[in-house]
Structure 1
Amino acid sequence: MTIAAPEVVAEEQETDKARGGGFLRYVLIRFLLIFPTIFILVTTVFFLMRSTGDPITAALGGRLSAADLERRIVDAGYDRPLLVQYFEYLGEIVRGDFGTTFTDGREVTAILTQYGAATFELVLYALIVALIIGIPLGMIAARFRDRWPDGILRVFAILAYATPVFFVGLLLKLIFSVQLGWFPISGRVSTSGASTLNRITNPTPFYLLDAIRLGDVDLIIDCLRHAALPALALGLLIGGVFLRLVRTNLIGTLERQYIESARSRGVKESRLVTTHALRPALIPVITVMGMQIALSLGGAVLTETTFEWNGLGFVLVQYMQARDFVAVQGIVMLMAVIVAVTNFIVDIIAALIDPRVRF
């Protein structure tokens, strides 16, 4: 048995400490970057919204007399200098107060809680669909590189992320809802399912979670059937990107020397793909997943409108049409937080998988 010299042991300990310190420093930097990202987006949205005038005039200008409109503007403080309003708005955000909508008098916080949960569910379903589509098909494309399965899958990937998500949604509704009648045409749950959910004590804004709490199999199936087509429409968009990424990175990994050595020892090609090459090829997919969250939130606006899925995208369109800038600012703020936090989590996962990312 060989015993390492004390100098070697000390050097290894110092290396481990340096790696641990590098990881903690990486986490801290990535966490601190969340705040300027949100600050820049909130500031941009605030001034862009106010470039057309004050929110009250924009939302209620055609429905109030000049005297009533002026009184409400003064009461809300929108007659003050823009910078004063801006810093007051930042202070309210820090306190967790996002204001009250002008068109229906609802607390923006309540809107974010209710509709944000619906969007979270849709994006989660879409990511599951994207991973189910992208990873296996990307592996098949890499395995049969430059052969007919690869060609078909590459065309499929291009069509998946290039076709507008609302067109895919309408096509899915026409085929699977109108013609075949397999899935509901719109909504998050059926009327009977909504009645059941309304009877729950202390309900959450997550329909599927409440259905699981009840242990109602029919209600669970009802929620999943309503989510199937919206998730597929949005998941295809992201899945096409994942397919291309997995294919490209698997091909690069399969050309590395250690893969060639395993191949020369008679290891089957399918085992090389699934066992030896897949994990390194998934690192870029995980890294890009944060950006895909932002893409899916943008796609959720069109998907939710197409399927009348009552999420942030659906209600955002309604408040934008009503020119209710207070609600729009709150919704965009939440989306910015979701994207920033998701990218932070993805960065940490990528650093844990691949230590080179930390440095």
Structure 2
Amino acid sequence: MTADVAQDRQDAPAPTPAAPASTRRRGGGGLGRYILTRFLLIIPTVLILMTVVFFLMRITGDPITAALGGRLSPEQLAQRRAEAGYDRPLAVQYLDYLWGVVRGDFGTTYTDHTPVATILTTYGGATAELVIYAVIVALLVGVPLGMLAARSRDRWGDLALRVLAILGYATPVFFVGLLLKLVFSVGLGWLPVAGRISSRGELTMGKILNPTPFYLLDAIRLGDASLLADVISHAILPAIALGLLTGGIFLRLVRTNMIGTLEMPYVDSARSRGVREARLTSRHALRPALIPIITVMGMQVAMMLGGAVLTETTFEWKGLGYMLAEYMANRDYVAVQGIVMMLAVIVAISNFVVDVIAALIDPRVRY
């Protein structure tokens, strides 16, 4: 019997060597080509959105008539339109606008005569700071509660957390914001009603040389504990209102993926060796469950930027969302075009970063 087995082994074909990782990936260009392709996709994405916004803004007429109609005489409107070039063919205006964007010139608002580029640099940091706070809240809410729901699968705790998740991403952001203000600001008086910082804090911030767009960083730079508390207290309610929108989605994702991971054979093997359930959840099941969160993070940033318009308006948090609502109310389409384009760039770059991170940590991503 031993001789027959030895003969079978000699006659068996030699195993085919494993293909290198670079040839096993589709496309053959490796990670560098994947990153370059994803980066170049930002250009058509932003261009398409810019084009759609440009032409949609002009369905009701030119921006000057939309912003100043009724406040100027027909002769003055005609003169303003001619000075701004809005009496030219629409295609020429579109090419002019694209050329201005390439040169960094996004136009000047008609309501307050402010360069749109100045608006983007002045208020963009406030929106970015709010979104960062909201992501932190979403992770702090979604990941631990998702783990808890997975461990108590199909019991009352799991059911309660799933209902909480549905309420989190189904309740309108402005409604959550109003409830938070009524309870914690008006009712209990614990937190500020609105604003990004108090008037006293604004005066203190004015002492900083070369300030950053982020109040939290500037407060840390000054080393002023009362200023830091002022900044954080103003950020808590807006961050919770916006973060719960995504926190519910994260909760469902973590729960679903952890349940699937906890049923894998290697987890059953570890469980049979006496590994505690808490360790199985935190060490063996958590990391695979976080991969879906990373892969959908780009879409969630887009949702948060959409929610930031309502959140910033509710809490008078003066960021791009707040200014977008103001300029839309005034029908200042030049400002609206610039702000929407900047939000599109932020979303496109966020998706690019998420795609790269997912490719690095998730072996299922092919490049």
TM-score by length of 2: 0.93
Q: How far is the alpha carbon of 1:16 from its aligned partner?
A: 9.2
Among 188, 193, 203, the alignment partner of 1:180 is: 188
Give 2:279's match in structure 1, choosing from 271, 278, 285. 271
Matched, 1:123 2:157: no
Would you say 1:300 and 2:308 are equivalent positions? yes
Count, aligned residues: 353
For 1:303 and 1:177, how far apart are their aligned partners in 2?
15
Aligned-pair distance for 1:208? 1.4
Contact 1:301 1:313 in 2 (8 A): yes
- In the aligned structure 2, how far is the partner of 1:149 from the partner of 1:309? 36
Amino acid at match of 2:353: I
C-alpha offsets along residues 175-226 of structure 1, whole Å, 9 cap, x if unaligned? 0001111100000000100011112222222211111111111101100000
SS of residue in 1 equivalent to 2:365:
helix
Q: Which residue, 265, 270, 278 being the options, matches 1:257?
A: 265
- Paired with 1:69 and 1:12, the residues of 2 have a C-alpha distance of 68
1:342 paired residue number: 350
Q: 1-side partners of 2:210 and 2:156: how far apart?
A: 54
How far, CA to CA, are the matches of 2:273 and 2:323 in structure 1?
59
Indicate the RMSD between aligned Cα atoms, in angstroms. Answer: 1.8
Query: 1:290 maps to which residue?
Result: 298
Aligned partners of 2:253, 2:25: CA distance in 1, in Å? 34
**Separation in structure 2 between the aligned mates of residue 136 and residue 19 of structure 1, nearest angstrom:** 38
Between the aligned partners of 2:22 and 2:215, the Cα distance in structure 1 is: 50
Residues 1:135 and 2:143 aligned together: yes
In the alignment, structure 1 residue 233 sits paired with structure 2 residue 241: yes
Match of 1:83 among 76, 85, 91: 91
One-letter identity of the residue aligned with 2:169 = Y
Distance 1:14 1:354, change over 3 A: closer
Which runs of 5 or more residues in structure 2 are unaligned? 1-14
| Cα gap change, 1:332 to 1:255, in 2 (>3 Å) | same
Q: Distance in 1 between matches of 2:216 and 2:22?
A: 49
Compared CA separation, residues 11 and 172, structure 1 to 2 (3 A): closer
Q: Against the structure 1 CA distance between its residues 260 and 46, is the aligned structure 2 distance closer, same or farther, given a 3 Å change threshold? A: same
Q: Over alpha carbons, which structure has the higher Rg? A: 2
Match of 1:144 in 2: 152
**Aligned equivalent of 2:12:** none
Q: Tell whether 2:64 aligns with 1:56.
A: yes
Query: Is 1:22–1:358's contact at 8 Å kept on the other side of the alignment?
Result: no
Counterparts of 1:210 and 1:45, CA distance in 2? 35
- 1:193 equivalent among 201, 222, 229: 201
Counterpart of 1:39 in structure 2 is: 47
Q: What is the Cα deviation at residue 18 of structure 1?
A: 8.9
Q: Give 2:75's aligned amino acid.
A: A
Task: Give the conservation status (yes or no) of the 8 Å contact 1:133–1:243.
Answer: yes
Cα 1:17/1:340, change in 2 over 3 Å: closer
Does the aligned pair in 2 maintain the 1:246–1:282 contact within 8 Å? yes
- Decide whether the 8 Å contact of 2:194 with 2:234 is kept in 1: yes
What residue in structure 1 maps to residue 80 of structure 2? 72
CA contact (8 A) 2:359 2:366 kept: yes
* CA-to-aligned-CA distance 1:295-352 (integer Å, 9 cap, x gap): 0001111110110000111111110010000000000000000000000000111111
User: Is contact 2:22-2:29 (8 Å) kept?
Assistant: no
Q: Give SS of 2:341's match.
A: helix
DSSP 3-state at the match of 1:44 = helix
| Unpaired stretches in structure 1, ≥5 consecutive residues | 1-6
1:315 and 2:323 are equivalent in the alignment: yes
Change (3 A) 1:291 1:17: closer
Equivalent residue number for residue 3 of structure 1: none
**3-state SS in 2 of match to 1:181:** coil
Structure 1 residue 127, shift from structure 2 partner: 0.3
* CA shift in 2, pair 1:317/1:14, >3 Å: closer
**1:272 offset after TM fit, Å?**
1.1
Contact 1:23 1:358 in 2 (8 A): no
Specify the SS of the correspondent of 1:357. coil
Match in the other structure for 2:11: none
Tell me the alpha carbon deviations over residues 89-128 of structure 1, each in whole angstroms, 9 at most, x when there is no partner.
Answer: 0111011110100000001011011111100010000000
Cα distance change on mapping 1:248 and 1:325 into 2, 3 Å: same
Over 3 Å counting, the alpha-carbon distance change for 1:216 and 1:40 in structure 2 is same
**Counterpart check, 1:26 vs 2:39:** no
Q: Is the 8 A contact 2:295 2:354 kept in 1?
A: yes
